[in-house]
């Protein structure tokens, strides 16, 4: 009776083997249960099930590794997408700042061309534009870095 019990336990684990949840544990438990059944009573049917698990183990391990690699790549891809999205948002914000500064500069040039304070205002505006352009360059550099990392071969 113990041999039959362990055989059923092995069958149960074997049936769940390809559900992609706890497969490593299920493979080990199925093999252990079949071995326990064989210790209690040698059976050609149980021996065949055990041998079949051994034969399929390599195939199963390759499938498992492939799934893990795919999930890892998917995760990395999502992280890269999020980083790119963040940098794109930063670029858009910087561009808006540059556009506002340029518009402000145009308005100052037009409205106050003849005022004495014009050179000082222009200097301040150009400093703001330079600062915003530097910020934009940083975002582009980070985006380039992200894209280079994404293109690098994985090991």
Strand, helix or coil at 1? coil
- Name the residue with higher pLDDT: 57 or 18: 57
Q: What is the C-alpha to C-alpha distance for residues 17 and 35, in angstroms, rounded to an integer?
A: 17
Sign of CA dihedral 82, 83, 87, 90: positive
The whole model's pTM is what? 0.47
Instruction: Give mean pLDDT, residues 89-99.
Output: 84
What percent of the residues of the chain are helix, what percent strand, and what percent coil, each to the nearest 5? 90, 0, 10
Q: Cβ neighbours of residue 120 under 8 Å, at least 6 residues apart?
A: none
| The pLDDT of residue 132 | 80
Mean pLDDT of the chain: 81
């Amino acid at each position: 009776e113990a041999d039959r019990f362990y055989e059923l336990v092995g069958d149960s684990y074997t049936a769940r083997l390809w559900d992609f949840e706890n497969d490593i544990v299920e493979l080990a438990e199925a093999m252990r249960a079949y071995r326990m059944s064989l210790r209690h009573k040698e059976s050609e049917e149980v021996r065949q099930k055990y041998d079949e698990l051994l034969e399929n183990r390599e195939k199963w391990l390759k499938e498992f590794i492939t799934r893990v690699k795919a999930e890892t790549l998917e995760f990395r891809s999502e992280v890269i997408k999020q980083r790119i999205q963040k940098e794109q948002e930063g670029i858009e914000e910087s561009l808006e700042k540059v556009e506002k500064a340029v518009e402000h500069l145009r308005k100052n040039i037009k409205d106050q061309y003849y005022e004495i304070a014009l050179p000082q205002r222009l200097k301040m505006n150009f400093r703001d534009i330079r600062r915003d352009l530097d910020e934009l360059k940083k975002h582009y550099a980070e985006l380039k870095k992200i894209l280079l990392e994404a293109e690098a071969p994985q090991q």
